[in-house]
Amino acid sequence: MKKTFRNVLLALLLPFSLSTGHATGSGMTPLPDPAGLQLASVHAVVAPLHGGTTLYTKFEDRPVPIASITKLMTAMVVLDSGQSLEEWLPIVEREDAPPKNSFSRIRPGSEARRGDLLRITLMSSENLAAYVLARHHPGGREAFITAMNDKARTLGMQQTRFVDPSGLWPENRASASDLLKMVRAAYAYPEIREMSTDSNRRVHFRSPRYGLDFGNTNALVRGSRWTVDLSKTGYLNEAGRCLVMVADIGGEPIAMVLLDSFGTRTPLGDAGRIRRWLETGSGGTVAGAAFDYERSRAAALAGAGAAAGQ
């Protein structure tokens, strides 16, 4: 099965017609049929990480709230700044008033290394850590947000807008196709790959001295059946449950963008359906409330598109 899927991915990268399959020495290797994949996520893109034909799309060009998926862009801006990851930063109180609960266990007035704050921003989606990173950017938080949007434009993310570094504001919006570009760019940073897939980490603070344990918000990074090379989860009421990740499937890195699903574990279920679909041609079904949520949201999007003449 692994050899078969590698042949499929090789076919995606060849400049031949892909409608009927790829000619190999043993015959034709068909591409996975999108009709064999049903997802609970309303917006989705599945593609080989390093380019080639996109394998699956679903409402991929609609800008929607992306919640903490934002933090991948936050991490790139921090690393692009060239500031030392070993520098100790004071934890400051928020000066803004987030529209959502932004509770944090980190104590304002203490200090942490920039690298540790970046790690828990990625792996544990720590909102105050993301805020502190932006506050200590050259020029402060507003300059940081400008850098986020400039980076998005540089990457060709034309349907994307950022207003904060954590994703607490639903005005942080992007399309699934734009987020595929962001995932591919973030993958080029070794620090992001390593930090975002760290399963557990104890972070040490000083002034006063204390330690806190953090876990990854994506349970798949701890699973023996998965090799996850990059990961970020997100959630807001307006965004639903979201997941972007790169996983090794059949020996090939596959990028997944999954936005707006119902239920804490639903994006993980979608990742499993994608894997099964790529390996067997059938992803299985979506059950219960997750299916009802997806059908309702998809119908509303289809109706809005028809009204707009799309």
pLDDT in tens, 76-121: 999 999 999 999 999 999 988 888 878 899 999 999 999 999 999 9
pLDDT, greater one: 26 or 199: 199
Give yes or no for residue 23 having a pLDDT over 80. no
Cis peptide before 34 (omega within 30 of 0): no
Asked whether residue 216 is domain-assigned, the answer is yes
Say yes or no to pLDDT of 6 above 60: no
pLDDT, averaged across the chain: 89
Instruction: Indicate whether 19 belongs to any domain.
Output: no
Catalytic residues: 68, 71, 125
Q: What is the mean pLDDT of residues 55-59?
A: 96
What pLDDT shows up at residue 5?
A: 47
Structural domain span for residue 271? 32-307
287 falls in which pLDDT band (50, 70, 90)?
confident
Give CA angle at 203 (201, 209), nearest 5°. 155
Q: Would 224 be classed as within a structural domain?
A: yes
Residue 9 forms part of a structural domain:
no
119 within domain boundaries: yes
Domain count, the chain: 1
- Considering the domain boundaries, does residue 137 fall inside one? yes
**Domain presence at residue 77:** yes
pLDDT at residue 143, as a whole number: 98
Q: What is the pLDDT of residue 303?
A: 75
CATH number, position 228: 3.40.710.10
- Residue 75 in domain: yes
Q: How many CB atoms sit inside 10 A of residue 82's CB?
A: 7
C-alpha Rg value of the chain to the nearest Å: 20
Average pLDDT over every residue of 57-64 = 96
Report the percent of the chain where pLDDT is more than 70.
Answer: 88
Residue 30 has pLDDT above 80, yes or no: no
Note the helical H segments in the chain: 2-12, 71-80, 114-123, 127-135, 140-154, 176-187, 190-196, 266-280, 288-307
